[in-house]
């Protein structure tokens, strides 16, 4: 009686795969398709700046209370959708004739196809409150999550590089 029970025990539990093996055998996301969708989101981000399209801007950002954005100015640290939305409305209201170019776009998509992160450089030119401005080589990084089959930014960081070295090393 003991031998059949031992055999049944080993047969039952010996056929189960460890979680990491089972995960590796699941069909994954099509990473190239997801990268193209993330690229389209970045293109929409650029369009928002050029057209001041707050409706589109709203679609590409998560409306989470803990969504985070750092802008280029010292005071631009926003936690949550509402504070960032208010700041963007003010910026869009002040800016005119905005032209944007991006370069050095790097897109990484997690194998799950549910999380992505990007980095790119952006040149932003236009007028603000009647004065011309030019921000060349702004550095952007962002983290996105795929929600309801759409990519949304959950974290964004923008900075303007200093000329030379901030601290010699």
Q: Residue 3 — pLDDT band, cuts 50, 70, 90?
A: low
pLDDT at 27: 67
Token pair 């057209």 is found at: 51
Q: What is the pLDDT of residues 12-21, one digit of tens each?
A: 445 554 544 4
Domain ranges of the chain: 31-159
Q: What b-and-e string marks burial along 94-114, b requiring 16 or more CB atoms within 10 Å of the CB?
A: ebeebebebeeeebebeeebe
Q: Report the CATH architecture of 31-159.
A: Roll (3.10)
17-51 per-position pLDDT tens digit: 454 444 444 467 899 999 999 999 999 999 999 99
Instruction: Give the bridge partners for 23, in sequence order.
Output: none
pTM higher than the cut 0.85 = no
Run of H or E including 142: strand 131-147
Structure tokens at 75: 């005071």
> What average pLDDT does this structure show over 139-165?
95
pLDDT at 55 over 90: yes
């Amino acid at each position: 009686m003991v031998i059949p029970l031992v055999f049944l025990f080993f047969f039952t539990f010996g056929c189960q795969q460890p979680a990491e093996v089972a995960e590796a055998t699941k069909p994954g996301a099509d990473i190239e398709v997801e990268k193209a969708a993330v690229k389209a989101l970045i293109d929409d981000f650029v369009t928002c700046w050029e057209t001041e399209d707050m409706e589109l801007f709203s679609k590409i950002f998560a409306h989470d209370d803990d969504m985070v954005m750092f802008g280029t100015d010292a005071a631009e640290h926003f936690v949550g959708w509402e504070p960032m939305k208010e700041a963007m409305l003010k910026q869009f209201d002040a800016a005119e004739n905005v032209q944007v170019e991006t370069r050095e776009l790097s897109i990484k998509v997690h194998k799950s196809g549910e999380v992505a992160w990007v980095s790119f450089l952006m040149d932003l030119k236009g007028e603000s409150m009647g004065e011309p401005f030019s921000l060349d080589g702004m550095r952007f990084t962002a983290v996105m999550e795929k929600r309801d089959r759409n990519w949304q930014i959950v974290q964004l960081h923008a900075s303007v590089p200093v000329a030379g070295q901030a601290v010699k090393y």
